[in-house]
């Protein structure tokens, strides 16, 4: 004991301080993971989980090491959670994902309650009156938010409601919700979600709006109107399914986030991937890394941006090849063997202060 005591005090103070400084700077310069880097900046960094936990140990390990928020890639969608008949919910897969997240202190985003795609057949093929469809939607929102109350901190309440038309006056996508309920379905959905779980952050999620343009303007006006009517919308999800062409556009992301922030909305980047036209090569990977790095830096710097999630993390499990007939892929930050790609290092660097 006395020997230890002696040793401690025989080290000159400047050496001790110097050592401490090196330890601190080494730590600051090199967080062990994206999760650690994001935590230090008070932000969330995350991924969409394909399938469910327990299928591949390497996948699960990498996920909890790197991320502090998860979203189900498919499991919470209407068509997945309620496939067979009205009122018959099967929560087994999303519950497994939520349980895995809780065990590993990872937050959960909910995706998504109202969407034109991946609806159950019993619903999309049905003929509904306005009253019936309103009832079904209300019931679905109430069921989901009751089941996940206190477990899902943010919900994509409405996904992809804005029309892709270049016509600035054509605001809404003409899907079955719009056709039967009219544009009021958006306000209704947010109000119903808020009435069931007043604590949840309620998000409007959209693609193709991150760098401004006609579609962004439509979304902005729609959200401004909702805010003015007192609709409980808390934030916007920018999906960000982009490609290498985004290289010269990333500087526009900051102003998009600030404009939405000025409306009193938080911004979450919800589905980032940077698709590459296959085959992939080193040059393309470097361009991709630059894009991921720029976006991560903006997400960290902009106060209104609270989260950055990618639509997966390993190229082994990505929707891109399947959705482009094998033409595009390689859009995430780990390769198929779970090795970090240049995009991973660029993100880590950009997120480290």
Q: Which residues are catalytic?
A: 160, 271
Residue 106 CA to residue 90 CA, distance in Å, equals 23
Contacts of ligand XIL in 283-342 (CB under 6 A): 319
SS3 132: helix
Looking at beta carbons only, is 53 or 134 nearer to ligand XIL? 53
User: Nearest CA to 349 among 286, 279, 296, 278?
Assistant: 296
Contacts of ligand XIL in 58-117 (CB under 6 A): 73-74
* Spatial contact of 73 and 34, defined as CB atoms under 8 Å apart: no
Binding mask 258-287 for ligand XIL (x = CB under 6 A): -------------x----------------
Looking at beta carbons only, is 237 or 293 nearer to ligand XIL? 237
Number of CB atoms found within 10 A of residue 174's CB:
11
Query: Minimum distance from CB of 73 to ligand XIL (Å)?
Result: 5
* List of residues 6+ apart from 252 with CB closer than 8 A: 210, 211, 212
Looking at beta carbons only, is 68 or 159 nearer to ligand XIL? 159
Alpha helices in the chain (DSSP H): 2-10, 13-29, 34-40, 57-66, 78-81, 92-103, 121-124, 130-147, 176-181, 184-196, 214-228, 252-262, 282-301, 320-323, 342-351
Query: Minimum distance from CB of 317 to ligand XIL (Å)?
Result: 9
Query: Minimum distance from CB of 159 to ligand XIL (Å)?
Result: 5
* 99 CB-side CA count, 13 A: 9
What is the gyration radius of the CA atoms in the chain, in angstroms?
22
Binding mask 151-180 for ligand XIL (x = CB under 6 A): --------x---------------------
Query: Minimum distance from CB of 130 to ligand XIL (Å)?
Result: 26
Angle 174-180-182 (CA atoms, 0-180°, nearest 5)?
65
Query: Minimum distance from CB of 187 to ligand XIL (Å)?
Result: 21
Binding mask 5-44 for ligand XIL (x = CB under 6 A): ----------------------------------------
Looking at beta carbons only, is 293 or 313 nearer to ligand XIL? 313
Task: Please select the residue that binds ligand XIL; options are 62, 68, 239, 250, rule is CB under 6 A.
Answer: 239
User: Nearest CA to 109 among 69, 161, 148, 138?
Assistant: 69
Looking at beta carbons only, is 177 or 319 nearer to ligand XIL? 319
CA end-to-end span of the chain: 40
The bridge status of strand 107-114 relative to strand 154-159 is parallel
Query: Minimum distance from CB of 239 to ligand XIL (Å)?
Result: 6
Q: Which residue is associated with the tokens 């937050």?
A: 107
Looking at beta carbons only, is 239 or 306 nearer to ligand XIL? 239
Site residues (vs ligand XIL, CB under 6 A): 73-74, 159, 239, 271, 319
């Amino acid at each position: 004991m006395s020997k230890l005591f002696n040793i401690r005090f025989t080290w000159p103070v400047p050496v001790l301080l110097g050592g401490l400084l090196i330890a601190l700077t080494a730590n600051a310069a090199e967080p062990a993971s994206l999760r650690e880097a994001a935590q230090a900046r008070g932000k969330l960094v995350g991924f969409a989980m394909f399938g469910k936990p327990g299928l591949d140990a390497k996948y699960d390990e990498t996920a909890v090491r790197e991320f502090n928020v998860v979203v189900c890639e498919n499991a919470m969608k209407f068509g997945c959670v309620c496939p067979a008949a009205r009122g018959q919910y099967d929560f087994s897969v999303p519950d497994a994902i939520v349980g895995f997240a809780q065990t590993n202190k990872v937050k959960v985003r909910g995706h998504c309650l109202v969407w034109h795609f991946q609806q159950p057949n019993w619903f999309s093929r049905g003929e509904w009156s306005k009253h019936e469809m309103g009832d079904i939607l209300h019931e679905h929102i109430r069921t989901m938010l009751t089941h996940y109350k206190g477990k899902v901190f943010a919900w994509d309440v409405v996904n992809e409601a804005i029309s892709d038309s270049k016509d600035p006056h054509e605001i809404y996508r003409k899907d079955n919700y719009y056709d039967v309920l009219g544009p009021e379905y958006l306000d209704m959905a947010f109000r119903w979600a808020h009435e069931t779980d007043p604590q949840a952050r309620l998000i409007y999620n959209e693609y193709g709006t991150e760098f401004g343009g006609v579609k962004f303007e439509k979304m902005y006006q729609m959200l401004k109107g909702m805010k003015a009517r007192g609709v409980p919308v808390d934030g916007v999800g920018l999906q960000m399914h982009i490609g290498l062409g985004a290289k010269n556009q990333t500087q526009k992301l900051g102003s998009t986030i600030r404009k939405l922030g000025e409306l009193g909305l938080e911004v979450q980047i919800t589905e980032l991937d940077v698709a590459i036209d296959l085959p992939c090569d080193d040059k393309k990977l470097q361009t991709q890394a630059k894009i991921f790095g720029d976006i991560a830096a903006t997400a960290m710097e902009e106060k209104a941006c609270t989260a950055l999630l990618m639509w997966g993390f390993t190229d082994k499990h990505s929707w891109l090849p399947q959705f482009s007939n094998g033409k595009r892929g390689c859009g995430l930050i780990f390769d198929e063997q779970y090795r970090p790609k240049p995009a991973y290092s660029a993100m880590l660097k950009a997120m480290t202060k």
